[in-house]
Amino acid sequence: MSPQQLHSLIEGMLDAVLIVDPISLQIIAANRAIHGLLRMPAGSLPGTPMIDLAAAPEDVFFWEDVAAGLSDNIHSETLLRRSDNIVIHVERQVTLVKTGLDSAVFVVAIRDHTNQRQVEQELEKLIAELRATLESTADGILVTDLEGGIRSYNHLFAELWGLPDELLTQRDDAAIYRWMDKAIIDAERYAERLGTITRSPLMEATDVLVLRSGKILERVTLPQYARGRPIGRVYSYRDITQKLEDEARLQLAAKVFESSTDAIFITDKDQRIITVNPSFSSLSKFSEDEMKGRLLRDVFDHETPPAQLDQILSQLEQNACWEGELWNRNKEGHAYLSMVTLVKVTDAQGQTLHFIGFCKDRTESHAAKQKIEQLAFSDALTGLPNRLLLAERIKQAISVASRRHGSFALLFLDLDHFKQINDALGHPFGDRVLLEVTRRLKKCIRQVDTAARHGGDEFVLLLHEATAEGAEICARRVLDELSAPVDLDGMQFTITSSIGIALYPADGNNMDDLIKNADSAMYYVKERGRSDFRFYQKQMNIGLLSRMKMDHAMRQALDKQLFRLHYQPQIDLRSGEIFGVEALIRWRDEELGDISPARFIPIAEESGAIVPIGQWVMRTAIAQAACWYAAGQTLRMSFNVSALQFQQTNFVDGVAEAIREAGIPPSLVELELTESVLIRDAEETLKKLEALSQLGVSLSIDDFGTGYSSLSYLKRFPIRKLKIDRSFVEDLPHDESDIAIVTAIIHLAHAMKMRVIAEGVETAGQRDLLMQLGCDEVQGYLYSPALPPDQMSAMLAPA
């Protein structure tokens, strides 16, 4: 169906509907409802990638799953961003719909749930606020109805009474009351008092309860009213055990102070030390008399910078507590590390009474920890942080950046062709190269940044608080630094690298996504020539999935024999007769329909699938030429040969074997080669072309003038024909530049004893001009499109 037909089909639907191409995931058609929902002008959505509408990172992964073909019917809730940048909640149904025997589309139905979600959120907020109020009180709360049925209680109530987990996860009022009865020491009096309260709905009471656990609770009972009438009762329980034991605890504290293994000191409200315990004197080597009268800051000023001490004391005043590790020196000058806790003690009115400091010696454990971390978190060869430490630092960077609403960059670096160094010079030499790379990488980053070895010849650079501009500067610095010649054992060579960059939070909010996306960007650089850098883009993953899906489909098509060849006749301009045909591949996929060669051939060349596909084309085309030859039709069969296929060591033998099996003269076979085939390894290419020429096969250059044209290979190589690309033919006879180019190609070919064929001839004007300029042969829609074998046979049959 055409986009207009699809639009007409969905325009009358009440729901917002999109029609999406299953390969590119671009919108084909969209009805009026979806334009209204997104506040977008009518007709503006077709051609838009679906991921451009995503308002949440998860939705990008959703469309990656769709692109990967994980399901053909997906129902979900998600977020969409309107044109005014307002995010709305929607319900979405994605369905793969066949539009014909050989084509399909995704139908995406969307329904706005924003209002419903707002109502739900308001209700959830109200319930949460009520629950938070109940939980925030300092007392345990139990709420019952007039009959004693439990309506609610908070966690502190359950904690005070020691309710077991099974009573917290099920609704059993009788079991809770039985537990409370057993928890009371004087159960008889408790039951009698509770009965009195229950029989008096308006009664207010205060009681003291002693539990078997040792807790002493004060219970306050108040009636609960609604519209002036009692509807239940609220019991509040407060633990007063501490209050009753304060005096005993003070006596105990004095003993703990003296015998504690922690170093403890106490100051007055002005932070002047009034006493220290024996452990403090043992750790610091200062006696109590030497410490009395000193300020709190004097305890730590030997190693802690004044600015840091000011910050610590400020936090202590504000928060009444500070905890952390500090380095210090004792009276004898030896450094030690302490775990320090500082506490401010206030009275009932909030006035400062004392400051108490607790110090625990951590020197030995710190040294042991450093040794363990060095062994566990460092790469054995380079000494750089390994994956484990890199993961920790990325988590820290995410934590800091999320709190400060900041960003950082991750550079994934892979050395180009490093395997060749290991293969040629051995792994020990390769290890020395990695050490040199490590030295240079360290020069490219700041002290706060991290360079880590990810494995093999892969490195990761973590750039704290770096923007895209900072990441680019670092990437260029790395490329420049690594490109300087390396001199090892008198051998000079150059190292290059490919770098992918991911930015937090735009390219991922966790370590796995950031590394995966930086790796994808690096792979993108590898595909396009290496020795460069590239920022990650969302389309990379979707494009990669689409290419993988297409590659898999091509290999299946080859196994299932879904490829077929059509044949376009080639005409001799002087005689007007058909002297040959060009074999052109066609593919109709069971799910995706007809797929243009312009779409799948580049992917096949990239993945290597072009080799088996090219072999199939060659054998099928030569076999068809044999059929026509047997029927009395002597036609020259031409077909394209890819650069990768031509580079195969057994290519010439494969051509010879196919011709021998078909039993036709080799002169009836013509190989069309691109100019890029001819410029790679000229000497080896010349050997193959001469072998093919001796075999009797004709050789032509396809799309001449669009590649790396060179007169030297035209002179050296046994080329018999040049094909003028359709881009130079389509504007004839009106474009003077194209006329000049075509004229030059024809004169060049004839001067070098070659024939010329023009493709894409669609008008009589083009044909007449080509004939006037001396072109020998043509092919194109003016004469015939590419036809299936049976239709081509019918055209060839005598009238």
Highest-scoring range by mean pLDDT, 38-47, 332-341, 568-577: 568-577
Average pLDDT over residues 130-137: 72
> Is residue 130 over pLDDT 70?
no
Q: Which residue has the higher pLDDT, 424 or 50?
A: 50
Q: Quickly tell me which residue has 């494009």 as its tokens.
A: 543
Residue 479 lies inside a defined structural domain of this protein: yes
Q: How does residue 619 score in pLDDT terms, banded at 50, 70 and 90?
A: very high
Q: What CATH number is given to the structural domain containing 672?
A: 3.20.20.450
Q: What is the extent of the structural domain holding 68?
A: 3-113
Residue 523 lies inside a defined structural domain of this protein: yes
Domain boundary among 317, 337, 366: 366
Instruction: Give the residues across from 408 on adjacent strands.
Output: 504
Contact predicate 702/673, CB 8 Å? yes
In this structure, the chain runs to a length of 799
Q: Which residue has the higher pLDDT, 201 or 709?
A: 201
150 and 211 in a single domain? The answer is: yes
Q: How many whole angstroms separate alpha carbon 777 and alpha carbon 767?
A: 10
290 and 402 in a single domain? The answer is: no
Q: What CATH number is given to the structural domain containing 222?
A: 3.30.450.20
Distances (CA, A) of 694 to 642, 667, 669, 688, 690: 21, 11, 13, 10, 6
Q: How many whole angstroms separate alpha carbon 60 and alpha carbon 545?
A: 12
Distances (CA, A) of 101 to 60, 94, 413, 555, 706: 30, 20, 46, 21, 38
> Is residue 23 over pLDDT 90?
no
Average pLDDT over residues 280-305: 85
Give every CB contact of residue 795 below 8 A, 6+ residues apart in sequence: 569, 578, 784, 787
3-state secondary structure of 538: helix
Helices (H), 410-462: 418-425, 427-444
pTM for the full model?
Answer: 0.44
Which two three-digit tokens encode residue 311?
Answer: 């910050």
361 and 396 in a single domain? The answer is: no
> Is residue 584 over pLDDT 60?
yes
Q: How does residue 580 score in pLDDT terms, banded at 50, 70 and 90?
A: very high
User: Which pLDDT does position 226 carry in this prediction?
Assistant: 78
Average pLDDT over residues 303-327: 86
Q: How does residue 227 score in pLDDT terms, banded at 50, 70 and 90?
A: confident
Which two three-digit tokens encode residue 636?
Answer: 């020259």
Output phi, psi for 48, to 5 deg.
Answer: -85, 130
* Residues 731-764: tens digit of each pLDDT: 999 999 999 999 999 999 999 899 999 999 999 9
Q: How many Cβ atoms sit within 10 Å of the Cβ of residue 506?
A: 14
What ranges make up the beta strands (E) of 349-496? 352-361, 408-415, 450-455, 458-463, 486-488, 491-493
26 and 53 in a single domain? The answer is: yes
Q: How does residue 476 score in pLDDT terms, banded at 50, 70 and 90?
A: very high
Average pLDDT over residues 322-337: 85
238 and 275 in a single domain? The answer is: no
Q: How does residue 246 score in pLDDT terms, banded at 50, 70 and 90?
A: low
Q: How does residue 542 score in pLDDT terms, banded at 50, 70 and 90?
A: low
224 and 270 in a single domain? The answer is: no
Q: How many whole angstroms separate alpha carbon 163 and alpha carbon 180?
A: 8
Tell me which H or E stretch contains 571: strand 563-572
Residue 22 lies inside a defined structural domain of this protein: yes
> Is residue 534 over pLDDT 80?
yes
User: Which pLDDT does position 200 carry in this prediction?
Assistant: 85
Of 221, 212, 217, the closest CA to residue 244 belongs to: 217
Residue 717 lies inside a defined structural domain of this protein: yes
Contact predicate 265/281, CB 8 Å? no
What is the torsional sign of CA 100, 101, 105, 110? positive
93 and 164 in a single domain? The answer is: no
Q: How many whole angstroms separate alpha carbon 282 and alpha carbon 334?
A: 13
* Residues 348-360: tens digit of each pLDDT: 888 888 888 888 8
485 and 561 in a single domain? The answer is: no
Residue 253 lies inside a defined structural domain of this protein: no
Which two three-digit tokens encode residue 529?
Answer: 């020539």
Tell me which H or E stretch contains 572: strand 563-572
Average pLDDT over residues 470-485: 91
Q: How many Cβ atoms sit within 10 Å of the Cβ of residue 140?
A: 21
Q: Residue 165 carries which DSSP code? A: H
Kindly report the average pLDDT of the chain as a whole number: 86
Residue 251 lies inside a defined structural domain of this protein: no
User: Which pLDDT does position 589 carry in this prediction?
Assistant: 82
Q: How does residue 593 score in pLDDT terms, banded at 50, 70 and 90?
A: confident
Q: How many Cβ atoms sit within 10 Å of the Cβ of residue 615?
A: 17
Which two three-digit tokens encode residue 315?
Answer: 């936090």
3-state secondary structure of 727: helix
Of 413, 528, 563, the closest CA to residue 479 belongs to: 413
Which two three-digit tokens encode residue 739?
Answer: 């006329």
Domain boundary among 113, 129, 155: 113
516 and 591 in a single domain? The answer is: no
Q: How many whole angstroms separate alpha carbon 641 and alpha carbon 37?
A: 51
Number of domains in the chain: 5
* Residues 110-129: tens digit of each pLDDT: 888 877 777 777 777 776 67
User: Which pLDDT does position 520 carry in this prediction?
Assistant: 86
Q: How does residue 772 score in pLDDT terms, banded at 50, 70 and 90?
A: very high
The pairs formed by 227-230 with CB atoms below 8 angstroms and a separation of 24 or more are: 230/146, 230/201, 230/202
Output phi, psi for 207, to 5 deg.
Answer: -135, 160
User: Which pLDDT does position 596 carry in this prediction?
Assistant: 86
Contact predicate 516/533, CB 8 Å? no
Instruction: Please count the CA atoms within 13 angstroms of the CA of 497 that sit on its side-chain side.
Output: 28
User: Which pLDDT does position 249 carry in this prediction?
Assistant: 67
Least confident of 70-79, 366-375, 520-529: 366-375
> Is residue 199 over pLDDT 80?
yes
Average pLDDT over residues 58-84: 77
Output phi, psi for 661, to 5 deg.
Answer: -65, -35
Give every CB contact of residue 129 below 8 A, 6+ residues apart in sequence: none
163 and 29 in a single domain? The answer is: no
Which two three-digit tokens encode residue 124?
Answer: 């959830």
Q: Which residue has the higher pLDDT, 250 or 390?
A: 390
384 and 508 in a single domain? The answer is: yes
Which two three-digit tokens encode residue 81?
Answer: 């961003």
Percent of the chain exceeding pLDDT 70 equals 94
Least confident of 66-80, 459-473, 685-699: 66-80
Give every CB contact of residue 659 below 8 A, 6+ residues apart in sequence: 622, 666, 669, 695, 697
> Is residue 280 over pLDDT 70?
yes
Average pLDDT over residues 489-514: 88
Q: How many whole angstroms separate alpha carbon 779 and alpha carbon 152?
A: 87
Helices (H), 631-681: 643-646, 651-662, 675-679
Residue 255 lies inside a defined structural domain of this protein: no
Output phi, psi for 437, to 5 deg.
Answer: -60, -45
Residue 542 lies inside a defined structural domain of this protein: no
What ranges make up the beta strands (E) of 82-149? 87-100, 103-112, 140-145
User: Which pLDDT does position 335 carry in this prediction?
Assistant: 82
| Angle, helices 427-444/468-483, rounded to nearest 10 degrees | 140
Q: How many whole angstroms separate alpha carbon 56 and alpha carbon 497?
A: 33
408 and 311 in a single domain? The answer is: no
Of 203, 144, 215, 136, the closest CA to residue 173 belongs to: 144
Distances (CA, A) of 567 to 119, 615, 789: 65, 17, 7
User: Which pLDDT does position 797 carry in this prediction?
Assistant: 82
3-state secondary structure of 540: helix
Domain boundary among 366, 389, 419: 366
* Residues 93-110: tens digit of each pLDDT: 888 888 777 778 888 888
> Is residue 459 over pLDDT 90?
yes
Which two three-digit tokens encode residue 168?
Answer: 């917290």
Q: How many whole angstroms separate alpha carbon 450 and alpha carbon 431?
A: 21
> Is residue 708 over pLDDT 60?
no
> Is residue 475 over pLDDT 70?
yes
Average pLDDT over residues 247-269: 77
Tell me which H or E stretch contains 288: helix 288-291
